[in-house]
Amino acid sequence: MLEDAARRRTRVELSEPVRARVRASRDVLERFVQEERVIYGVNTSMGGFVDHLVPVAQARRLQENLINAVATNVGAYLDDTTVRAIMLSRVVSLSRGNSAITPADLERLVEVYNAGIVPCVPEKGSLGTSGDLGGADGLRPTGSAGWPSQKRQSVAVPPSSSRPVRAEYRVCAAP
């Protein structure tokens, strides 16, 4: 089903119940941070360093360092349909409202998907407890290496975002 939707370049829209779940999840995380609760991977380090608290002011850097540390995928790039199916599965997963993603970041992923922008994701990489973190690096517009492509195009993605990001990408044929 995901592959068919990706192949047909089915447009994605987030429903109001999805938006409400995602916002509620994020609100819980933000409340817990304000209450100074200890939250694994948010204000603690990970793995063997779990006992090390990270100041809230450094939380974003912690997340970026995690992705950068596992962004080691190599090999040929996955084909466009596969990457679009991965992007779509990520939208479905994040729409459940369990991840505390910011609503703006989920909207950005949907906008990128709907615009036909296909990140270049290498086919081989490591698997972490949160999924394939190396491959996930390729799906984020702020990927550690940008979005490399054989057709080096550059754009602010997406223009409606409050935080435009320069990225390199491939563009699929219009839906």
Residues pairing with 106 in the sheet: none
Q: How many residues does the chain have?
A: 175
User: Does 22 map to a domain?
Assistant: yes
For the chain, the domain total comes to 1
- Domain span at 157: 1-169
Q: Catalytic residues, which ones? A: 40
56: DSSP letter: G
User: Does 175 map to a domain?
Assistant: no
More confident site: 49 or 151: 49
| pLDDT tens column, 25-76 | 999 999 999 998 998 888 888 778 888 888 888 888 887 777 777 667 778 8
Look up residue 45 and give its amino acid. Answer: S
User: Does 174 map to a domain?
Assistant: no
Q: What percentage of the chain carries pLDDT values higher than 70?
A: 69
Q: Which of 19-23, 124-128, 143-147 has the highest mean pLDDT?
A: 19-23
Reported in sequence order, the residue ranges of 34-171 that DSSP labels E, i.e. its strands, are: 74-77, 117-118, 122-124, 153-157, 165-171
| pLDDT tens column, 96-105 | 999 999 999 8
CATH code of the domain in which 100 resides = 1.10.275.10
Whether the per-residue pLDDT at 139 is higher than 70: the answer is no
What does the alpha-carbon distance between residue 90 and residue 70 come to, in Å, rounded to a whole number? 18
**pLDDT band, very low/low/confident/very high, at 163 (cuts 50, 70, 90):** very low
